[in-house]
Chains A and B, each alone.
Chain A
Amino acid sequence: MPEPLVEAIAAGRIYRRGGTSVPALGRATCRIFPGDRIALLGPSGSGKSTLLHLMAALDRPTLGEIAWPALGAAESLRPEKIALVFQVPSLLPFLNVIENVELPLLLGPAGQSARAAATGALDLLGLSELAEKLPDELSGGQAQRVAMARAIAGKPRLLLADEPTGQLDHATAEALLDKLLSHFAARDTAILIATHDASVAARMAKEWRMSHGILETAARIAPVP
């Protein structure tokens, strides 16, 4: 059995606003292994983004713990081992599309081959014609696909995507998923997608559900298409 990429052990996150505590995630226990394809379903405010942020080491749990046995220390995870697609608009406004995509590569050790990898990722998602555009010139859906290209350009071991198809129509969302899954088909990159969309979730091998900050990890297990 391979080592898990991420392991949450009763990890929880409580925010403090003023004098009150707001629990966002309650004691979640889960593991993600290489090659996993997981859909994280749940209504808005159920704690999906919080769990993704903890897994990406963007945040620290206030309860329990998070570890990355197969990846190493929290400080070394981004950008080359874990990539994220954010729910909020996340392209840097003063860099064009190709520069946005290559930025994480430049931040990591890839350095020299960043431009080629960025071009490849854009080609893969059919976004080459947008390479010189600024984020302000893109539609919401285009910006979301560019964010996906940025996430996959570095060939991460774990891809965490928070509502990556939220602004896409069904056909485009399907096409994006097709390309994403086929790109990673022969790789052991684990993919966790937080989504509302049942059709997106249906393409994933595992389905986790969240409700009121509580995670259910055994909702459905199906073979990877």
Chain B
Amino acid sequence: MISIWLSGLLARRLGRLLGTATGVALAVALLADLGAFLVSSSASMTAKAAASLPVDWQLQLSGGADAPAVTAAIGKATAYDRLETVGYADAEGFEAQAGGTVQTTGPGKAVGLAPSYRRNFPAQLRLLLGSLDGVLIAQQTAANLHVGVGDSVTIRRLSLPPVDVRVDGVIDLPNADSMFQAIGLLPGAAPQAPPDNVLLLPLDRWHRLFDPQAAGRPESVSIQFHIGIRHAGLPADPEAAYAQTTNSARNLEARIAGSGLLADNLAARLDGVRSDALYAKVLFLFLGAPGAVLAALLTIAVAASGSSRRRRDQALLRIRCATNLQIMSLAAIEAVSVAAAGIAIGWLLAGVLSAAVLHAAIFAPGMAIWLGVSALVGLIATAAALLVPALASARNLTVMQAAATVANLPTPLWQRIYLDAALLALSAILFWQSQNSGYQLVLAPEGVAASSVDYHAFLAPLSFWVGTGLLTMRLLGLSLGRGRNLLAQALRPVAGPLSGIVAASLARQRRRVTRGAVLLVVAFSFATSIALFDTTYNAQSRIDAELTNGADVTVTGTSAAPAGSMLSRLAAIPGVAAAQAMQHRFAYVGNDLQDLYGIDAGHIGEATRMSDAYFHNGDARATLAALAGRADGLLVSEETVHDFQLQPGDRINLRLLSLADHQYHVVPFTFIGVVREFPTAPKDSFLVANASYVADQTGSSAAEIALLRSSGDPAVVAQAARAVTASVPAMKVSDIGESLHLIESSLTAIDVAGLTHLELVFAILMAAGAGGVVFALDLVDRRRALILLSALGATHRQIGAFLWSEALLILTVGSVLGLAGGFAVAQMLVKLLTGVFDPPPQSLILPWGYLFLSLLSAAAVIGIAAIAAQIFSRRSAARGLREL
């Protein structure tokens, strides 16, 4: 019996089986590809994070520690390929004579480095002037002392006579925070700021100068091992990599038994990457889970499109005395056949899409569980679509009810309990709650990234999405049932004199029509929200990168070699649309040294984006106009306003370095507004003022930074800018692409492109599937009616009136409500993911092209189905009647 049934299915219902398998395949493929995204993104996050770290471990030796023994212990605890000894010594300060005056700094650090250090840890030092061989001085210290290459600096040692050294090079320390971190602080302790004054000496010379100080003041001198671990041995999964690194660190601590304190930079970074991985899961939940739900719904809907015929088949079996067990066995045969085909097609589709979009293999290590889950979901969705209705029909319906074509089925449970209204209310409450609690999904402060995820917030858009779909189903069902006359009028342009009877036909098939329309609503809503989020996210990533980099291309010099001096040459580079100079000085606010940016407020926006979100009042134009209108105006960061309790209009006395005497002098400013973020500025405390006023007050119009907006490829412009500035080693050129790359490896912008591209492809497939495949399968189920229409004398055009009316109704309701729902979901997503956006977007960016493509694909598949049905109905009616 089973083989007869199976062969009958394959011979007579092959199209329906394949259609249902296609729906299963979409769900399976989407889940498998989401898994591939998670696995590959986690692996790439680990690799990126480890590669970008300048020093993995910093081991500070205790007094009297046996250095060779500790080195041996390191080798036993972990595999490493770089190890350098670094000496740190406190100094009372540094002195230098310049222009007949003596410049003195406060306390500083003298660091001893071996010549091989810069080769093994190249990211730690950046040469600005002179040579890396010999004595090096940090840029800020050089500025404070007014010294350059060849000048002499006095090191005032603790409890020892001062010594003089000659400066061989001026450097920048890009990773000063980690290089000078306090090792051994308790977790949660306030981070230690790097020293303001730093001098670097060759290690042997450092030993000669500071070993005596260590003898007298041992607490002022320390030795560190800087270690680079072999990253090839790290597991791909951030969680496992973090665990391995942490375990190795503990192993080392146990081996050296108090001979040193370890700063595990790698573990700290991987801890942040674990947060990134969590963020990837968050994105998966927000962007992927609805897709998976939709795919499962689609599977059920596709399977349900043959439900009335299946119900009639089963009624015939019951008439012929088949038991429920036999009926269920036959339904199970169909379910297993469909699931097997769907899983196979789904994996194949997933493999192709994963390779094309994610550049990842789905049969990679770590994917076994995802492949298993995807297959299980396919199996469950098929069972839910085929077996559950069969069981319900066998148990609850009489044979006559089951055999009915237009089944008078009871109102679904969700309608009776108003699940749609409940979900929408829940969504509103959760959204309101998350917005009013000031909750941000992801916090991305400077330093170690940290995530704060409230999983309840996920439910807001998800509930809205499902609630909208159910409400549409309820309202459309009601409208078709009670608004038949209105529908008839609306269909008159398509159906002509048949509009009344077409409306009656649609009203009686409202469950079927509603299901198609709602699936399209949900699919369009999904496609729209994903596309809106993706477009807005990408745009914000670029703004974020521009904020970090300063502009498309930024040339950063020093006060001695200002980039502004080359502005005219930089502006003349082909592809440069606008160029603006910007001062970057330092100013004391009380005892707090802060970054001060001097700008031309009227024109800065020509070279870099001035987002409304940068300013507390949300109005960039007005704020900059206010600054331009007041020479001594000052924009102050939120933190400083809070710390110093400033009120608009307050006079603020800053201390700025004067070119005339190289001393800090008080300069009065007027506080006119609050700035949250500014191109190239740090995120905590900084100031923005008029460049002309700063120049007047300091006697120096030097602009350290040049911002360039490109009309073409920023990388090409950056290349040309490097050529222009090649003669000045202190000038650094960076383009927005580099910042995007950096951002993409950090919390604020995990590489979401792969996921969203995948989602966008699936959204189109599902929109087409929801609209077209379900409609087509419904038509297959109704081919008898089409043949009868033809046999009764309906012309091609008249049959088209029935088909196109239904197609247009589904497409119109699906696309209009889907777009509206998707816009609302995207708005909700952007609000909930405010923490991801830096700065938050001012408005959603509509991807018209993609939305049009989604609409077109759904319309095309629906249209093809309608045309195919029209052509089918033109076949010989007698033959059709015989075959039915």
Contact = CB atoms under 8 A, between A and B. Distances in A.
A-B interaction: yes
Interface of A: 50, 53-54, 58-60, 77-80, 84, 86, 88, 90, 92-96, 99, 102-104, 106-108, 111, 134-136, 150
Nearest to B504: A99
Contacts of A111: 497
Contact of A59 (B404, B785, B792, B878): B878
A58 B877 contact: yes
13 contacts: A53-B877, A58-B791, A59-B876, A78-B792, A80-B793, A86-B791, A88-B881, A94-B505, A95-B504, A103-B792, A108-B793, A135-B405, A150-B792
Contact of A95 (B403, B508, B791, B876): B508
B793 A106 contact: no
A66 to B, nearest CB: 12
Contact of B791 (A84, A94, A102, A106): A84
Contact of A134 (B406, B876, B878): B406
A93 B406 contact: yes
B798 A107 contact: yes
Most B-side CB within 10 Å, residue of A53, A58, A77, A135 = A58
B498 interface: yes
B625 interface: no
B884 interface: yes
B879 interface: yes
A104 B508 CA distance: 19
Contacts of B341: none
A99 B502 CA distance: 10
B152 interface: no
A94 to B, nearest CB: 4
A60 B878 CA distance: 9
Contacts of A58: 791, 876-878, 881
B792 A136 contact: no
Given A94-B785, A95-B508, A79 B498 contact: no
Given A53-B877, A93-B405, 20 more contacts: A53-B878, A58-B876, A59-B877, A60-B876, A78-B791, A78-B792, A79-B792, A84-B792, A90-B788, A92-B788, A94-B405, A94-B509, A102-B501, A104-B793, A107-B498, A108-B793, A135-B405, A136-B404, A136-B406, A150-B792
B792 A107 contact: yes
Interface string B318-338: 000000000000000000000
A106 B499 CA distance: 10
Nearest to B403: A136
A90 B884 CA distance: 11
Which are the 7 A-B pairs with shortest beta-carbon distances? A78-B793, A79-B793, A93-B405, A59-B878, A53-B878, A136-B404, A58-B878
Interface in B824-859: none
B789 interface: yes
B785 A93 contact: yes
Nearest to A134: B406
Contacts of A108: 793
Interface string B483-523: 00000000000000110010011001100000000000000
A107 B798 CA distance: 7
Interface of B: 403-406, 497-498, 501, 504-505, 508-509, 785, 788-789, 791-795, 798, 876-879, 881, 884
A7 B117 CA distance: 106
Contact of A92 (B404, B497, B785, B881): B785
Nearest to A50: B878
B405 A106 contact: no
Given A103-B501, A106-B498, A135-B405, A94 B876 contact: no
Contacts of B884: 88
Contact of B508 (A54, A86, A94, A103): A94
B792 A104 contact: yes
A18 B20 CA distance: 28
A27 B815 CA distance: 56
A58 B792 CA distance: 9
A139 B29 CA distance: 47
Contacts of A79: 792-793
Contacts of A50: 878
A11 to B, nearest CB: 13
A77 B879 CA distance: 18
A157 to B, nearest CB: 13
B319 to A, nearest CB: 14
B877 A95 contact: no
Contact of A107 (B505, B795, B878, B881): B795
Contacts of B498: 106-107
A53 B791 CA distance: 9
A80 to B, nearest CB: 8
Contacts of A135: 405
Nearest to A150: B792
Contacts of B877: 53, 58-59
A134 B795 contact: no
A106 B788 CA distance: 15
Contacts of B505: 92, 94-95
A53 B793 CA distance: 13
Contacts of A54: 878
Contacts of B881: 53, 58, 86, 88
A35 to B, nearest CB: 23
A103 B789 CA distance: 9
Contacts of B793: 77-80, 104, 107-108
B309 to A, nearest CB: 12
Contact of A94 (B406, B497, B794, B879): B406
B791 A59 contact: no
Contacts of A95: 501, 504-505, 508
B504 to A, nearest CB: 6
A80 B792 CA distance: 10
Contacts of A92: 505, 785, 788-789
Nearest to B400: A136
A99 B878 contact: no
Contacts of B504: 94-96, 99
Most A-side CB within 10 Å, residue of B504, B789, B881 = B881
A213 to B, nearest CB: 15
Most B-side CB within 10 Å, residue of A77, A95, A102 = A95
A80 B793 CA distance: 8
A90 B794 contact: no
A43 to B, nearest CB: 18
Contacts of B876: 58-60
A95 B501 CA distance: 8
Contacts of A107: 498, 792-795, 798
A99 B500 CA distance: 10
Nearest to B791: A58
Contacts of A94: 405-406, 504-505, 508-509, 785
Most A-side CB within 10 Å, residue of B498, B785, B793 = B793
Nearest to A87: B881
Contacts of A104: 792-793
A152 to B, nearest CB: 14
B491 to A, nearest CB: 13
Contacts of A93: 405-406, 785
Nearest to B786: A92
A104 B794 CA distance: 8
Contacts of B785: 92-94
B777 to A, nearest CB: 17
